[in-house]
Amino acid sequence: MNRFEYADNKFSEIEMMIAIPSFIIGVGILSLPQALASATTAMDGVFSILIAGGIVTFITWAIAKFAASFPDTTFISYASLIVSKPVAILLTFLFAIVFFSITAYQVRKIADISKQYLFDQTPVEVISLTFFLVIIYAVSGSRVGIIRLNMMFFPFILFIAIIVVIFNLNWFKFSNFLPVFQSNINDYLTGVNKSLFSFGGFGILWFYMAYVNKPNKAPKMAALGTGFPIALYALIFLACIGVYGESVTASMLYPTVELAKMVEIPGGILERFESIFFVIWIMAIFNTTAMAFDITVLAINLVFHHIPKIKIIFLLSPLIYAIAMYPQNLIEVSAFETFLNYAVFYYSIFVLVLLFVVAKIRGVKPSE
């Protein structure tokens, strides 16, 4: 079987801009309104989203800027320049583990949600396996292919999310938004904390920046890309509060899905709108998972460059599947999620600070 070869192996800066929101938008937003509503009063959670969004945009920009100062260089090579080879290998390896776990988590979560709403009788194991097989297929193809797939899916994802909000305007009760600014600082911080994690997409920049063809333009574009999920999340959160009110939103597992369930197209043509929403949203989760798995493979490939990519994929896949299936119930899955969120977020920041500070101290300059 012949594989399609792309003419160039580089991403344009627009593709980089779309890759960021494609990675961020996934299972996080399905439950984020719940977490925010239980932490803050009425619509105050939206300020948490905006603050968290600001922070994340800055970090994204900073990572992209830093990585862009070493154009066409992979993470491991510039990390070796700065903090010596063994440490660089360790850092890359930790990244591999982080993204490996993200892949496992996404595979599990998508199966849980689909089982809840779509496949009542199908075992979780089978749902995840079928989903995961497609992921494996995507990842064993070309890297640029995944990135370009993002470009193709992204408009659909935005479109369906906006449709869900628009069709819910009918149910809006604006009094639900009140009272404003009644949460105390701690509530806001909890909210910021919770939203920060759902925006944790900047990790992919460490690896994908090496493939961007105009690195100097990429930081701005990556920061712009974070704008999409921030706006979208704020919109969806407001819709949940407007339609359900704070107390109901806080009691639901996946308020965003329930929002899609509320949609009734006038005339009774389509009563089960959530099935369409799901089809599109699985595309979003597919993007996230495919990129996470791709980066896992890429990171391991950087450490062991003599092993062919396909071998790494076939070695890792059963492991990922096994880990995805390990948690027994919802509580264990969400414990896994919390741990992962912390790991992804703080590890990326840790690496940024470490590399930046050491580079400054040792005066490592990117080779021109």
Partner 1 sequence: MNKRIIFILCNIIFLLAGCWDEQPIEEHGFAIGSSIDLAEEKNEGTYNVMFTSQFVVTSGFGTPAQGSGGGKKSFMNLSVTGESIFESSREMSTKTSLTPFYEHLKVIVVSSDIAKEPNLFSSLMDIFLRDHEMRRGIRVAVTEGEAKSLLEINPENEKLPAMYINEVLKKNAKSIEVMDPVTMGVLQQYLLTKSSYVLPMLLSEENEINSEGGAVFHGQENKMIGTLSNDEMKGLNFIKGKVNGGIVNLEVDGQSVIYEIKNARSQIKIDTQNPNNMNISVSIKAEGSIGEKFGSQSLKDPKYQAKLEKNVGKAIEQLAMKSLEKGQNELNADIYGFDSILKQKHYDVWKEVKDKWITGDQLFTKTNVQISAEAIVRSIGSSDVTHEKGVE
Determine how many CB atoms are found less than 10 A away from the CB of residue 302: 21
Query: Which residue's CB is nearer to partner 1, number 152 or number 253?
Result: 253
Burial of 137 from C-beta contacts in 10 A (0-12 / 13-18 / 19+): exposed
Q: Is 244 in the site for partner 1 (CB under 8 A)?
A: yes
Other beta carbons within 10 angstroms of residue 315's beta carbon come to 12
- Quote the tokens at residue 179: 């009272």
Residues from 335 through 354 that contact partner 1 (CB under 8 A): none
Question: How many CB atoms lie under 10 A from the CB of residue 223?
Answer: 21
- Note whether 93 binds partner 1 by CB under 8 A: no
Contact status: 245 vs partner 1 (CB under 8 A): yes
Q: Is residue 272 within the footprint of partner 1 (CB under 8 A)?
A: yes
Q: Which is nearer to partner 1, 73 or 249 (CB)?
A: 249
- Of 93 and 177, which CB lies nearer to partner 1 in the complex structure? 177
Helix (H), strand (E), coil (C) string for 295-325: HHHHHHHHHCCCCCHHHHHHHHHHHHHHHHH
- 264 in contact with partner 1 (CB under 8 A): yes
146 with 290: CB under 8 angstroms?
Answer: yes
The piece of 171-179, 211-219, 277-285, 338-346 that touches partner 1 (CB under 8 A) is: 171-179
248 binds partner 1 (CB under 8 A): yes
Residues 106-135: x/- map of binding to partner 1 (CB under 8 A)?
----------xxxxxxxx--x---x-----
Which of these ranges, 103-111, 227-235, 258-266, 319-327, lies near partner 1 under the rule CB under 8 A? 258-266
Prior bond of 33 cis (ω within 30°): no
Question: Minimum distance between the CB of residue 179 and partner 1, rounded to whole angstroms?
Answer: 4
Instruction: Identify which of residues 1 and 7 has a Cβ nearer to partner 1 in the complex.
Output: 1
Q: Which stretch binds partner 1 (CB under 8 A): 23-31, 172-180, 187-195, 307-315?
A: 172-180
Matching residue, tokens 């599990």: 108
**For partner 1, which is the closer residue by CB, 184 or 338?**
184
- Kindly state the smallest distance separating residue 172's Cβ from partner 1, in Å: 12
Q: Is 41 in the site for partner 1 (CB under 8 A)?
A: yes
* Stretch of 221-229, 238-246, 309-317, 332-340 contacting partner 1, by CB under 8 A: 238-246
Our finding on whether 233 is near partner 1 (CB under 8 A) is: no
Residue 318's Cβ-side half-sphere holds a number of Cα atoms within 13 Å equal to 3
Residue 193 makes contact with partner 1 by CB under 8 A: no
The four Cα atoms 341, 345, 350, 353 give a dihedral, to 10 degrees, of -170
Q: Which is nearer to partner 1, 168 or 301 (CB)?
A: 168
84: how many CB neighbours lie within 10 A of its CB? Answer: 12
**Count, residues near partner 1 per rule CB under 8 A:** 29
CA atoms within 13 A on the CB side of 315: 10
Min dist CB 198 to partner 1, Å, is 23
d(CA 213, CA 221): 13
Q: Is 179 in the site for partner 1 (CB under 8 A)?
A: yes
Question: Residue 262 Cβ, how far from partner 1 at the closest point, in Å?
Answer: 6
CA 347 to CA 97: how far, in whole Å?
11
Measured CA to CA in angstroms, residue 157 lies from 106, 129, 183 at distances of: 17, 23, 32
- Interaction between residue 187 and partner 1 (CB under 8 A): no
Is residue 310 close enough to count as binding partner 1 by CB under 8 A? no
Find the angle CA(77)-CA(211)-CA(57) to the nearest 5 degrees.
Answer: 95
DSSP conformation class of 212: B
Lookup: tokens for 261: 């369930």
Binding site for partner 1 (CB under 8 A): 41-42, 116-123, 126, 130, 171, 175, 178-179, 182, 243-245, 247-248, 251, 258, 261-262, 264, 271-272
